[in-house]
Amino acid sequence: MEMIAPEAALIRSAKAGALLRRSSLALVATAWASGMVFGAYILLFFGGSALGGLADRWNGALRGLHDPAFPLAVIAIGLHFAAGGILLLLGPIQLIGPVRRAVPRLHRWLGRLYVGAAALAGVGGLGFIIVKGTIGGPLMDVGFGIYGALMILCAERAFTLGRQRRFDAHRAWAIRLFALTVGSWLYRMEYALWYLAMGDLGTNHFHGWFDAIMMFFFYVPNLLVAEFFIRARDGGTHGKGEIPAALALIAASLFIAVATWFFTVSIWGPGMAKGMEGLAA
C-alpha cells in the first residue's frame, strides 16, 4: 500500500531529528576531545617549562607572559594556566549524565576540584591584569577582567547551590561555568577560523578592530548559548530547520577536528614535547 503523505512526513521528520541528535553528539564529542588536548598542552607546556626552570619559554606562546620584573604577575598567570588546564580536562567528565548518576560521589569530589580550579583561574587571571595588564591594553583588561570575575561568580554559585542541594539551580550555574571555561580554547579556534577566512584583516597585535571584538566574543556568546540550553523545554529544533541545523553542526565538527589537528601538529604537540623536556631537565 502506498504510504500516505502524513506518514511520509513523520518518517522524514524522525530521520531529520535523528540526524540532528547525532550531529549534536558529534559536535560535543569533537569539542570535548579538542578541549582536552588543549588542556593537556596547557598543563604540560606551561607547567613543565616552569618546573624545569624554563618559564621564559612562555613568551613564545604570548609575548609578555613571563617577565621577571613582575614576579607576582608571573605567579598569577601560572596559577591561571594550571587551573585552566584542570578545568578543560575535568569539564567533559562532569557533564556526562551516566557518570554523574552512576558515581555521584565521584561527581561531587571532582565538582569541588572543578569549582576550586575555576575560582583560582579567575583569581590568577585578575591578578595578572591588576599587576601587569594585558598585551591588548585597557580594553583587553576590561574584557578579560569581566571574564575572570564571571568565572569566580559561577564557581561560587555552583558550589553553594550544590551544598544547599538546590540541584536545578546548581546545574544551571555549572553549565554557565563550563561555557566560560571553554572560552580560552574557543578563543584560539575562533581566531583560527578568522585567519583562515579573512587573513589578518582587523588584527594588529591585539589592537585591531577584530581584536577588540574578540576581547568579549570568546565568552559572551557562550553564555547566551548556555542560557538558551538551560531554558529550553524541548529536545531541539523541529520542522524544516532540522536538516540545515544538522549540516551546520557537522560543518562545525569538521572545522574543530581540522583546526585541532593543525594546532596539535604545529603548536600544541611541540609545546607538550617541550614541556616534557622541561620536566626531564
166-211 pLDDT per residue, tens: 988 888 898 888 888 888 888 888 888 888 888 889 999 889 999 9
Q: What is the pLDDT of residue 24?
A: 72
Residue type, 45: F
CA separation for the pair 52, 41 (Å, rounded)? 16
All 3 cell numbers of residue 275? 614541556
223-232, Cβ contacts within 8 angstroms, sequence gap of 24 or more:
223/150, 223/176, 223/179, 223/180, 225/179, 226/175, 226/176, 226/178, 226/179, 227/176, 229/175, 230/172, 230/175, 230/176
Q: What is the pLDDT of residue 10?
A: 53
Confidence category of residue 85, pLDDT binned at 50, 70, 90? confident
Through-space distance between the first and last CA atoms of the chain, rounded to whole angstroms: 76
Q: What is the pLDDT of residue 29?
A: 81
Residue type, 13: S
Each residue's pLDDT tens digit, 98-144: 777 788 888 888 888 888 888 899 999 999 999 988 888 999 999 99
**Mean pLDDT value across residues 17-42:** 80
Task: Report yes or no: 35 and 185 within 8 Å, Cβ to Cβ.
Answer: yes
Nearest to 72, CA basis, from 136, 124, 138, 141: 124
**Mean pLDDT value across residues 17-34:** 78
**Mean pLDDT value across residues 69-91:** 85
Q: What is the pLDDT of residue 225?
A: 78
Each residue's pLDDT tens digit, 134-168: 888 999 999 999 999 999 999 999 999 988 989 88
Exposed / middle / buried, residue 133 (Cβ in 10 Å: 0-12, 13-18, 19+): middle
All 3 cell numbers of residue 107? 561527581
**Mean pLDDT value across residues 61-89:** 84
